[in-house]
Amino acid sequence: MHIETGQRLYGGALQVRYLIEGLYNRRVSNILICSKESSIAEHFKNSEYTEVLEVTCRGDIDIRLLWAILSAIKRKQPDLIHVHSRRGADIWGAIAARAAKIPSVITRRVDNPESRFAAKMKYGSFNKVVTISEGIRQVLISQGVPEHHIECVRSAIEISEYGTKCDQEWFLSEFDLPENSLIIGMVAQFIERKGHKYMVDAFKAIKEAYPNAFLIFFGQGPLEQNIKSLVQQKGLEDNVIFAGFRKDLARLLPCLDLLVHPALMEGLGVSLIQAAASGVPIVATKVGGIPEIVHHERNGLLVPPRDSKSLTEAVKHLLGDNRLRNRLGTEGRRVAQNEFSIDNMVEGNLNIYKQLLSQKVA
What would the pLDDT profile of 129-184 be if each residue is shown by its tens digit? 999 999 999 999 999 999 999 999 999 999 999 988 999 999 999 999 999 999 99
Architecture of domain 2-156+341-361: 3-Layer(aba) Sandwich (3.40)
CA dist list (Å): 40 to 2, 47, 299: 12, 11, 32
Q: What integer is the mean pLDDT of 38-51? A: 94
Residue 361 is predicted with a pLDDT of: 57
Classify each residue of 303-328 as buried b or exposed e, where b means 16 or more C-beta atoms within 10 Å of its C-beta: bebebbebbbbbbbebbeeeeebeeb
In the Cβ-directed half-sphere of 297, how many Cα atoms lie within 13 Å?
0
- Altogether, the residues listed in the chain come to a count of 362
Instruction: Check residue 286 and report its DSSP letter.
Output: S
- Strand, coil or helix: 342: helix
Is residue 202 over pLDDT 60? yes
Q: What integer is the mean pLDDT of 316-322? A: 97
Give the global pTM: 0.86
Q: How many CB atoms lie within 10 A of CB 335?
A: 20
Q: What integer is the mean pLDDT of 228-257? A: 96
Strand partners, 213: 182
Residue 121 is predicted with a pLDDT of: 82
Distance linking the first and last C-alpha atoms of the chain: 22
Q: How far apart are CA 204 and CA 60, in angstroms?
A: 42
Q: How far apart are CA 134 and CA 150, in angstroms?
A: 10
Convert the pLDDT of each residue in 69-128 to its tens digit.
999 999 999 999 999 977 778 889 999 999 999 999 999 988 888 888 888 888 888 999
**Contact yes or no for 352/153 (Cβ under 8 A):** yes
Q: What percentage of the chain carries pLDDT values higher than 90?
A: 83
Is residue 362 over pLDDT 60? no
Q: How many CB atoms lie within 10 A of CB 338?
A: 10
Fold matches, 2-156+341-361 and 160-339: yes
Nearest to 264 by CA among 317, 197, 318: 197
- pLDDT bin (cut points 50, 70, 90) of residue 47 is very high
Residue 10 is predicted with a pLDDT of: 80
- Domain chopping of the chain, boundaries: 2-156+341-361, 160-339
Provide the CATH number for the domain formed by 160-339 in this structure.
3.40.50.2000
